[in-house]
A and B are shown apart, each in its own frame.
Chain A
Amino acid sequence: MAKHKTPLLDELEKGPWPSFVSDIKREAESRAKNEKGVEYQIPVDVCDDLLGVLELSYNDGETHWKHGGIVGVFGYGGGVIGRYCDQPEQFPGVAHFHTVRVNQPSGLYYTTEFLNQLSDLWELRGSGLTNMHGSTGDIVWLGTTTPQLEEIFYELTHNLDTDLGGSGSNLRTPACCLGMSRCEFACIDAQAICHDFTNEFQDFLHRPAFPYKFKFKFDGCPNGCVASIARSDLSFIGLWKDNIRIDQKAVKAYIGGEIPPNGGAHAGRDWGKFDIQKEIIALCPTQCMWMEGDTLKINDKECNHCMHCINAMPRALRIGEDTGCAMLLGAKAPILDGAQMGTLVVPFIKCEAPYTEIKDLIEKLFEFWMEEGKNRERVGETMKRVGLYKILQVLEVEVDARVVQEPRTNPYIFWKEEEVPGGWDRQIADYRSRHKM
């Protein structure tokens, strides 16, 4: 028998989509029965009370969590998001309801053995509720009490060889698309670099040293399956420098209708017979493709790597062989001065272990931002304030036409004094000798 009446939430058990309400109820029931004889370390009815407080919020249209919360484990300055209910008498099971961020494997591949171990630990010391996964990538454990934090951390590190993720003004948990593990578009080993960088920058991840949060994300190609260009301060996007590889026989098979376009992604509706002219050539943003008889031609010098043709004919067109990545800086959500997507700062860089060249750039960037960034200023805002040119100087990369979409239209152009003959030090008397008042 449920502890609280939840008529509004019960509505959300209807319909075809997996219901979070049914799932939480099932966990509440499982805890009440406790068939495995678990010695629950936090209140048994945590899930019931969570549903109760949520129903209350549904009723009055307001959250019932108190402001903030500072909890954690010794040695780290982040990783746990403290949370307290503002109705602790009514819902004692969620009086403490802290969230633990657990660092996930790159690409989110798991074995059931590992997931079972994680679940056993969380069932014993937490609510049994999770978020798989948080938007940044972490495995998110939803709801435990302060005394359990060190216990969880001990078991996580000693028995499961797993660490916490990041939170606070630091490097947050990096994430990637599944990369070369099962995608023929991957130009870089996104998982490998994500894993390598997570290890390389552990100190920055666990002990907040930055003006504000900072995120890495790694996309294997411009399709952006982990949305690095929108959701990471420093975005890595795989690219190639040479030519798209064309299998003319497969092109003919697409034209002949033997292979469905886009891997059959539009099979749910009749779009008519595949028309390479209309669906590929005419849609190419740089108009660098054409047919010569039944041969597909691409002027690769004009290609901007948008992925459209490759996406549409994956069995006929492949990424080039000279691969690397572009680096884009500064994506952020609106607060404070408006949303930003990543700005291209490095058009192409090789991306092979041990990634020394990229790490050098990152160190220069961190050093500059830690010194110059204002309190709670994302690096994208710092870039806006000091200018893109300053960032390129800091990174010591060449200024390249590709880093702007268009040249500036206003004429408020700064010059360095040494660039201007005679410098800035002028005498008004000298000027007056040639120009009367």
Chain B
Amino acid sequence: MATVEFKGNNFEVDEDGFLQRFEDWNPDWVEFVMESEGIKEMTDEHQKVLDFLQDYYKKNGIAPMVRILSKVTGYKLKHIYELFPSGPGKGACKMAGLPKPTGCV
């Protein structure tokens, strides 16, 4: 597993650039990943999505379904892609520090 160094942090990541441990997440991680996920500037809307994903994951131990993410944040899927060009899985979940989506993707 690769380790990336950024602003004094050591983040352990897999090939796809997902954090290996949710506990390692801190705001520097977001700053580090932003560019590779096609995001120029973090807005409150970005933050709202990340906060919800983290809360949901802490409470339920899984990432929410897309439908739930849309409902709770009030953002349509189209808008989520405007915020996170790679989408809620590869984009938002990665930035929020959640584990890599699995299954028949």
Chain A positions near chain B (C-beta within 8 angstroms) = 66-78, 81-82, 84, 96, 167-169, 203, 207-211, 213, 370-371, 375-376
Taken together as a complex, chains A and B put the C-alpha atoms of A207 and B87 apart, in Å, by: 7
A67 touches B102 (CB 8 A): yes
Residues on B with beta carbons closer than 8 Å to the beta carbon of A169:
66
In the complex, what residue of chain B is closest to A172 when comparing beta carbons? B104
Residues on A with beta carbons closer than 8 Å to the beta carbon of B65:
211, 375
B87 touches A76 (CB 8 A): yes
A77 touches B16 (CB 8 A): no
- Known A-B contacts A69-B15, A81-B105, A82-B16; the reply to A209 vs B87 at CB < 8 A is no
B81 touches A72 (CB 8 A): no
A69 touches B81 (CB 8 A): no
Taken together as a complex, chains A and B put the C-alpha atoms of A376 and B86 apart, in Å, by: 21
8 new A-B pairs (CB below 8 Å) besides A74-B85, A207-B87, A209-B77? A68-B101, A69-B15, A73-B86, A78-B105, A82-B16, A207-B77, A211-B67, A213-B104
Residues on A with beta carbons closer than 8 Å to the beta carbon of B77:
207, 209
* Contact sample, A vs B, 17 pairs, CB 8 Å cutoff: A67-B102, A69-B16, A70-B16, A70-B105, A71-B16, A73-B86, A76-B87, A77-B81, A77-B88, A82-B16, A168-B89, A168-B105, A207-B81, A207-B87, A208-B89, A209-B67, A370-B67
Residues on B with beta carbons closer than 8 Å to the beta carbon of A96:
15
Taken together as a complex, chains A and B put the C-alpha atoms of A210 and B18 apart, in Å, by: 23
In the complex, what residue of chain B is closest to A204 when comparing beta carbons? B77
A376 touches B103 (CB 8 A): yes
Rounded to whole Å, the gap between the CB of B13 and the closest CB of chain A is: 12
Is B38 part of the binding interface, using a Cβ–Cβ cutoff of 8 Å? yes
Is B90 part of the binding interface, using a Cβ–Cβ cutoff of 8 Å? yes
Rounded to whole Å, the gap between the CB of A203 and the closest CB of chain B is: 8
Contact mask B42-71 → A, CB, 8 Å, 1/0? Answer: 000000000000000000001001110000
Taken together as a complex, chains A and B put the C-alpha atoms of A82 and B65 apart, in Å, by: 21
Taken together as a complex, chains A and B put the C-alpha atoms of A381 and B75 apart, in Å, by: 28
Taken together as a complex, chains A and B put the C-alpha atoms of A339 and B102 apart, in Å, by: 22
Pick the 9 closest A-B CB pairs, nearest first.
Answer: A77-B87, A74-B85, A70-B16, A168-B105, A74-B38, A84-B15, A70-B90, A209-B77, A68-B102
Residues on A with beta carbons closer than 8 Å to the beta carbon of B16:
69-71, 82
- Known A-B contacts A84-B15, A167-B105; the reply to A68 vs B100 at CB < 8 A is yes
In the complex, what residue of chain A is closest to B104 when comparing beta carbons? A213
In the complex, what residue of chain A is closest to B66 when comparing beta carbons? A209
- Known A-B contacts A84-B15, A168-B105; the reply to A70 vs B100 at CB < 8 A is yes
A71 touches B90 (CB 8 A): yes
By size class, the interface of chain B is 20 to 34
Taken together as a complex, chains A and B put the C-alpha atoms of A208 and B88 apart, in Å, by: 9
**A-B contacts, CB under 8 A, total:** 66
Taken together as a complex, chains A and B put the C-alpha atoms of A66 and B102 apart, in Å, by: 12
Contact mask B76-105 → A, CB, 8 Å, 1/0? Answer: 011001000111111000100000111111
Residues on B with beta carbons closer than 8 Å to the beta carbon of A72:
86-87, 90
Please pick, from A70, A74, A75, A371, the residue contacting B67 in the complex, using a CB distance under 8 A: A371
Taken together as a complex, chains A and B put the C-alpha atoms of A210 and B66 apart, in Å, by: 8
Residue of B89, B90, B102 contacting most chain A CB atoms (<10 Å): B90
Residues on B with beta carbons closer than 8 Å to the beta carbon of A75:
81, 85
Taken together as a complex, chains A and B put the C-alpha atoms of A371 and B71 apart, in Å, by: 11
In the complex, what residue of chain B is closest to A210 when comparing beta carbons? B66
In the complex, what residue of chain A is closest to B90 when comparing beta carbons? A70
In the complex, what residue of chain B is closest to A208 when comparing beta carbons? B66
Residues on B with beta carbons closer than 8 Å to the beta carbon of A168:
89, 104-105
Please pick, from A68, A211, A371, the residue contacting B105 in the complex, using a CB distance under 8 A: A68
Residues on A with beta carbons closer than 8 Å to the beta carbon of B15:
66, 69, 82, 84, 96
Residues on B with beta carbons closer than 8 Å to the beta carbon of A213:
104
Taken together as a complex, chains A and B put the C-alpha atoms of A188 and B86 apart, in Å, by: 37
In the complex, what residue of chain A is closest to B68 when comparing beta carbons? A375
Rounded to whole Å, the gap between the CB of B83 and the closest CB of chain A is: 12
In the complex, what residue of chain A is closest to B64 when comparing beta carbons? A375
Taken together as a complex, chains A and B put the C-alpha atoms of A375 and B62 apart, in Å, by: 11
Taken together as a complex, chains A and B put the C-alpha atoms of A19 and B43 apart, in Å, by: 55
A70 touches B89 (CB 8 A): yes
Taken together as a complex, chains A and B put the C-alpha atoms of A169 and B89 apart, in Å, by: 11
